[in-house]
Chains A and B, each alone.
Chain A
Amino acid sequence: DAGVTQSPTHLIKTRGQQVTLRCSPKSGHDTVSWYQQALGQGPQFIFQYYEEEERQRGNFPDRFSGHQFPNYSSELNVNALLLGDSALYLCASSLWMGGGYNEQFFGPGTRLTVL
């Protein structure tokens, strides 16, 4: 049973550039959430996708956008990169459930460094 996969593992970009991160959820899961984790902090929720629609969004600017494909995989796009966007980007996979009782499983993450 394949777990959550993310690519690439590491990425180095310069300020102003754009980046695309990819995620494939765990087999049987239909919901993908994205989180940003800065050094020494807990993960911060960016947004969540289900049925190819953004269902919930955290406090992140419009530079952060996403997409979910029919096979449930997802992309996170960040435009006009800033130094402060340097972080570990985590994808979490889950089943869509009402009431908030969903266990989310994380992928290995993508380490983004902005120079």
Chain B
Amino acid sequence: GDSVTQMEGPVTLSEEAFLTINCTYTATGYPSLFWYVQYPGEGLQLLLKATKADDKGSNKGFEATYRKETTSFHLEKGSVQVSDSAVYFCALRVVEGGGADGLTFGKGTHLIIQP
């Protein structure tokens, strides 16, 4: 079945540090890939997405590139801020015509940014 593996947290960084959160996947079909973010007390929010190989999703300074050859979708940011502290989820969806397409999530990575 489909699955997503992401690095375990918590990940603790200082403000302005470089961030990488690793994500790899296995999928029976050709997936679309997503990063969602969950701030304390809030619902999941879509951060970025990529729908085909070599696509780069980007938003709020975060980037992730769909790497089919390594089945990866690592999240990166060049300079993190305290406000980036949250739980980050990597997810995939295999698009199949006519069927339901629920997301498959990783376990989440808790990111803590210290001032």
Q: A and B bound?
A: no
List residues of A whose CB falls within 8 A of some B CB. Answer: none
